[in-house]
Amino acid sequence: MSGWLDVHAHYVTTRYRGECVAAGHVRPDGMPGLPGWSVDAALDVMSRTGVRAAVLSVSSPGVHFGDDALGANAAARALAAHVNDFGAQLVSDRPATFGFAAALPLTDVDGALAELARAGDDLGADAVALLTNYHGRYLTDQAFAPVLEELDARAAVVLLHPTSPPDWQATAFGRPRPMVEFLFDTTRCVLDLILTGTLTRHPSIRWIVPHAGAVLPVVAHRVAAISAATGPMVDVPGALATLYYDVAGLPLPVALDALVKVVSSDHLLYGSDFPFTPAPAVAALAHALDGDPAARTADFTLAPGSAGASLFPRLTRG
């Protein structure tokens, strides 16, 4: 596992935790709570799994917590600035070890554009982290078009991350949303990007889809076939093959095999999901990947020609 790049790793600041709790996210997405995180803990799990560098991001529920009538836009702008400044400082302290993906305060489009420019131009963000939906509005929402256009103009790397879907109360049956709902929301978001032509209109964005593609490999051919009922058939498998995928979560024993039937191994990246996946589980899953035939066809390092080197060239110089 020596020299791997981790593209699905999170950080949790004290202020971020406090603002999540104040906004009612004591048990975010139905989980027991936000996990503890520190630089030392991150470095320890990286050492135990042979990870050379990690691109850090803020997970669900993101930084925008509610209705702007209650001042949520201003609060979201401030919180996004805080977590991005924190991420940039981590990179400044350890430039060969950490990268960071900037959080944006959607649904505040003006705030998101301003923070995207600041994070990219002033902070040197390596990527941008986007949630699959923002208060029930998916990334194809016309209001978000200026943000996607700017991401395309910047040829940005976008780390996609699931969050609770709209009306989750009716679908999760009281269970934590990461159990099932996260996978379906990732699938819903990516299929919507494909079927609306949004992916085609923004060809320079480099998307990284989490959790071994969620349910996408299983439904891709079915969606393509049924798309013909309302118009020309959409080549969903072909579109999926252009995206990148991390293998965070539980890609074994089934999900990774399904993914590599649709996507070439040079589009696979390692992901730990630390600290939301506890350190012992991260180590066990990494060792299992290291011995898996399908995973071994992928290059999870920053070596020349790897997906990691293509997407995160700054880290190759570490």
Which SS3 state, helix, strand or coil, does residue 9 take?
A: strand
Helix orientation angle between 279-290 and 39-49, rounded to the nearest 10 degrees: 20
Confidence of residue 137 (pLDDT cuts 50, 70, 90): very high
Confidence of residue 4 (pLDDT cuts 50, 70, 90): very high
What letter would DSSP give residue 212? G
Residue 159, pLDDT > 90, answer yes
- The answer to whether the beta carbons of residues 156 and 113 sit under 8 Å apart is no
User: Which ranges of 94-215 does DSSP label H, i.e. alpha helix?
Assistant: 109-117, 145-153, 168-171, 181-195, 198-201
Secondary structure percentages of the chain, helix, strand, coil, to 5: 45, 15, 40
- The answer to whether the beta carbons of residues 215 and 255 sit under 8 Å apart is no
Confidence of residue 18 (pLDDT cuts 50, 70, 90): very high
Confidence of residue 72 (pLDDT cuts 50, 70, 90): confident
Q: Kind of pairing, strands 98-103 and 51-57? A: parallel
Residue (of 222, 25, 61) closest to 136 by Cα position: 61
Structure tokens at 107: 């649904």
**What is the domain partition of the chain in residue ranges?**
4-316
Residue 162, pLDDT > 90, answer yes
| 0.95 surpassed by pTM | yes
Residue with tokens 């139905």: 30
CATH of 4-316, one of 2.30.110.10, 3.50.50.60, 3.20.20.140, 3.90.1150.110: 3.20.20.140
Give dist(CA 237, CA 257) in Å, integer.
15
Give the per-residue pLDDT at 68: 64
Give the per-residue pLDDT at 71: 74
Averaged pLDDT for residues 88-110: 97
- How open is the CA angle 56-59-62, to the nearest 5 degrees? 120
